[in-house]
Structure 1
């Protein structure tokens, strides 16, 4: 206190209590910072935020007049709010899923439009794409309806605080669609592994895949809903309860582990076959690496990059982590649609043929003009051919009669052919 008093006598702002925490003495014309107290947050953040308090040139803390015309010292705790940070995360997540929706809808239209694509491999792709699309729609609806309402700070009770039945149903549907993503990833990896590792095994029915992808997720979701309804029925079940979250997380983690094992064995089989066909060629390793990169988003293994969430860190690092996590999560649908639909050679050939038929059906003028010019060129070519035959016979007759002869009346065939081409 003596040191503080000496500082105050030297023109520094004295130590003070603002009702929330203590502030040490500060030199004039500076801004003091202090860690936000834990009770300043609605939820303890994973990084430290800092409040500020300005020391004026006069050696007094900044003051303002309140509603009762009283002059009071002011501390700025606005930076303790996480609203702007959480809003930016919501916007990034919603934007990433919106990109996936834009990519998935045309891909599904293409898959359902062509009879040539009605095979088991593409049928599994279609179900996985539908799962990704449903999950994207549900996440966007949940974020926009529930989370943005929670962050709006309107003063009235939020949807989470009301804890209504509709909010819980929306949350459970989001969880169901999320779980179907992981299980259809497992179906994709299992089917491809079976094709490559067991080349002579034929998959006659996809019923087991439909049960795994669409029916099985109902069981853990129903168990989770029952547990939350009886033991943690608050805030639309959005706030996680760790012991119950494993009911949903365990199938997801098991799916990722199985997908990783399938991928490792697929790469092993590919490298073995390539090595047998092209011994000691570097291209075999490039093919294996390319196959790995292509299958990573299909199997959902890119999620392993951000599977570990650090408990603490700087605010910048934590924000970058969430951005990366949300981008990898939300853009999976766009990546899968790009690789397995738009860049697929078979799909490109079908689209090219469809476009060619469309041009032929909707351009009659161009088609008739092109046909008439082609016929004229063919007739001229036929006429010149006949004249050439006659000229040859005449030349032979002239050669027998004498060296002199008349010049041809028609231009050479080559000139007319060039004109027809032009």
Structure 2
């Protein structure tokens, strides 16, 4: 708002107070502190409330006003320690929209604490059992030289990624909310390593799919396949993916040790994981098709044939990581569906490799 002359600007504060009194907003205005209108000499933004209900106090033109995030809005509780922002433009008018991008949702601990504790126990139990079985299998492949071949070498590397991912999962449990708020470098390093081992895990599943598809569908001699090529795919390709993700987080989301809900930056590593799972799904479809064709050509009965196909498919599902596709859709609403998802996800993600 532009004041053409000083006398009119001098009576503006009194007019504003009268209007607030008439409209019934004078009580709310007192609770929303801002600049002293009686001493103002230049352009300013009037006190206002946005659609969310946040009070934006009067402010001099050209300034950015900071207000705490709302405690509750549209059925969701928010962290009031974070702030929202709104610009008072140079012409004395407010920006059209307030900036609530830093406001984070919080959950009602009384409703979800019990289920979270049970899910955490399932996760600990599953990861412990899985880690023991993985270590046992890893040592068997390491000690028995008679079974060493390219196929078992791929299995050995896949086991190694599961072990490393499980170990870093236990390290993640050491990061409490207080440490997340401090955004320590070591906790950011741990979650970067966890994501790296997670990506390598899925890429070695992709290597498993490539090997099986080459041996069964393409009938290509596996003796001509090179181990170094699979090592590059499984260990080296995930490295730049994880580094790019970490650099993007450091620049755009450097807070809370990079924890939180998935955002567009996380698709830097989630995208390749989804891609290799889709490719493995195509591998699985083609492998089962070939198995069906071969079994139909055999002399066994049809019932036994289908039973063999089902057994082969059930073995290949976790080996190629197809079961992980069940957990890409996470129910957002708090309720029974979310609780069921938490239990099933905790069980499969921790016990699957057992």
Q: Is residue 335 of structure 2 the alignment partner of residue 305 of structure 1?
A: no
**SS of match in other structure, 1:39:** strand
Distance 1:113 1:241, change over 3 A: closer
1:15-57 deviation digits (Å, cap 9, x = unpaired)? xxxxxxxxxxxxxxxxxxxx996337786468xx6xxxxxxxx
5 Å matches for 1:125-204? 125-143=155-173, 145-146=174-175, 149-150=176-177, 158-202=178-222, 203-204=224-225
State the distance in 1 between where 2:194 and 2:305 align: 42
State the distance in 2 between where 1:183 and 1:139 align: 18
Q: Is residue 354 of structure 2 the alignment partner of residue 330 of structure 1?
A: no
State the distance in 1 between where 2:280 and 2:307 align: 21
**Higher helix content, 1 or 2:** 1
State the distance in 1 between where 2:183 and 2:268 align: 22
Give the drift of 1:97. 1.2
Q: Is residue 228 of structure 2 the alignment partner of residue 207 of structure 1?
A: yes
Contact 2:78 2:106 in 1 (8 A): no
State the distance in 2 between where 1:95 and 1:217 align: 28
| Residue number in structure 2 paired with 1:355 | none
TM-score, scaled to structure 1 = 0.57
Structure 2 segments unaligned to the other structure (5+ residues):
1-72, 81-103
Contact 1:93 1:330 in 2 (8 A): yes
Q: Is residue 76 of structure 2 the alignment partner of residue 38 of structure 1?
A: yes
1:311-370 deviation digits (Å, cap 9, x = unpaired)? 2252x4312211111211112221xxxxxxxxxxxxxxxxxxxxxxxxxxxxxxxxxxxx
Contact 1:278 1:284 in 2 (8 A): no
Q: Is residue 127 of structure 2 the alignment partner of residue 102 of structure 1?
A: no
Give the drift of 1:90. 2.7
1:215-268 deviation digits (Å, cap 9, x = unpaired)? 111111111111111111101111245110110110110111011100010011
5 Å matches for 1:248-327? 248-278=269-299, 281-314=302-335, 316-327=336-347
Contact 1:133 1:333 in 2 (8 A): no
**SS of match in other structure, 1:282:** helix
TM-score, scaled to structure 2 = 0.68
State the distance in 2 between where 1:204 and 1:38 align: 55
Q: Please, what is the CA RMSD of the aligned residues?
A: 2.3
1:146-176 deviation digits (Å, cap 9, x = unpaired)? 1xx22xxxxxxx1101101101001100110
**SS of match in other structure, 2:353:** helix
State the distance in 1 between where 2:147 and 2:289 align: 28
| Aligned match for 1:226, one of 247, 254, 257 | 247
Give the drift of 1:302. 1.3
Give the drift of 1:273. 1.1
Which structure has the larger Rg over C-alpha atoms? 1
State the distance in 2 between where 1:127 and 1:142 align: 23
State the distance in 1 between where 2:243 and 2:203 align: 16
Q: Kindly tell me the number of residue pairs found equivalent between the two proteins.
A: 258
Q: Is residue 283 of structure 2 the alignment partner of residue 245 of structure 1?
A: no
5 Å matches for 1:116-127? 116-127=146-157
Q: Is residue 110 of structure 2 the alignment partner of residue 79 of structure 1?
A: yes
1:179-213 deviation digits (Å, cap 9, x = unpaired)? 11110110011101111112242334211110111
Contact 1:111 1:117 in 2 (8 A): yes
Give the drift of 1:125. 0.3
Structure 1 segments unaligned to the other structure (5+ residues):
1-34, 50-77, 151-157, 335-422
Give the drift of 1:133. 0.6
State the distance in 1 between where 2:352 and 2:115 align: 24
State the distance in 1 between where 2:141 and 2:218 align: 26
State the distance in 2 between where 1:134 and 1:279 align: 43
State the distance in 2 between where 1:84 and 1:287 align: 42
State the distance in 1 between where 2:304 and 2:332 align: 43
5 Å matches for 1:392-411? none
